[in-house]
Amino acid sequence: SCISRSGLPSELKGEWYAVKGDVEVYSMTIEDGEGIYLGTIDDRPMVKGKWKVENGFLVLIPESEGQVSGLSRYTYRIDNDTLWLNHGQEIFTKTLPLKVKHPETSILENIRSDFRGRFTEPSATEVPWDDGTSYSGFSIEMISDTVSVLYSEITTYLQDKGFEPDEKVITEICNGYVKNYGSDTIVVMVCFVTDEDGSPAGIKISAALNK
């Protein structure tokens, strides 16, 4: 695409979601004729400062406690809503990732990365809850030889992340957890998956947003 050699090209404005990068989201704005950027991870601000384009390079000038420290210069190009920095060293997109559109998938993605990616990718599912209700959500699964150890690790992990057990949703093979998300609630169900003999063979974790 056509790139201004210097200044504050409007095509860089907006929310950029990481495909590959050190932050999850870059928010690029223009205020009073200055480019302002904010980089966040888990909605927490990690870096902020000023941005501009100079001689065809994207320049980020971070502010740390009021002091300007170590500016970064990147070659950049924009192609189909995708921003390539330093020829693909970092890549951002304006397409909303699944966990932004569906915040309930964030905990599933965290589990996938923190438990070394042995889980399947999130797929759409119905999450049954108490009183016969069910919520539309997403689930991940994993087959494991050490299911009971993994089950206990996952339930501890969820509680470390602020999820609380729901006493109404505990069975022999499933445990339910809840966590407030703004004015909504994220519900998570952790279940044993059994083989043909009825023995535990794996784990299924489902999550949904209860609005």
pLDDT tens, residue by residue, 72-117:
999 999 998 999 999 999 999 998 877 777 889 989 988 998 887 5
Q: CB under 8 Å to 59, separation ≥6 — which residues?
A: 51, 52, 53, 71, 72, 73, 74
* DSSP letter string, 142-211: EE-SSHHHHHHHHHHHHHHTT-EEEEEEE-SSEEEEEEEETTEEEEEEEEEEE-TTS-EEEEEEEEEEE-
Confidence label for 1 from pLDDT (cuts 50, 70 and 90): very low
Confidence of residue 68 (pLDDT cuts 50, 70, 90): low
* Tens of pLDDT, residues 105-157: 989 988 998 887 589 999 999 998 887 889 999 999 999 888 889 999 999 99
Whether residue 2 is predicted with pLDDT greater than 70 in this model: the reply is no
Q: How far apart are CA 58 and CA 117, in angstroms?
A: 33
Q: How far is residue 24's CA from residue 30's CA, in Å, rounded to a whole number?
A: 20
Mean pLDDT of 57-66: 82
Q: At what angle do helices 147-160 and 104-114 cross, to 10 degrees?
A: 130
Q: What is the mean pLDDT of the chain?
A: 89
Q: Tell me the C-alpha distance between 125 and 83, whole Å.
A: 32
CATH, domain 98-210, list 1.10.3470, 1.20.120, 3.30.310, 3.40.50? 3.30.310
Q: Please report, for residues 95, 105, 122, 186, the alpha-carbon distance to residue 125 in angstroms, rounded to integers and kept in the order given.
A: 23, 12, 9, 15
pTM as predicted: 0.63
Spatial CA neighbour of 51 closest among 66, 31, 67: 31
Indicate the length of the chain as a whole number: 211
**Residue indicated by tokens 């210069």:** 73
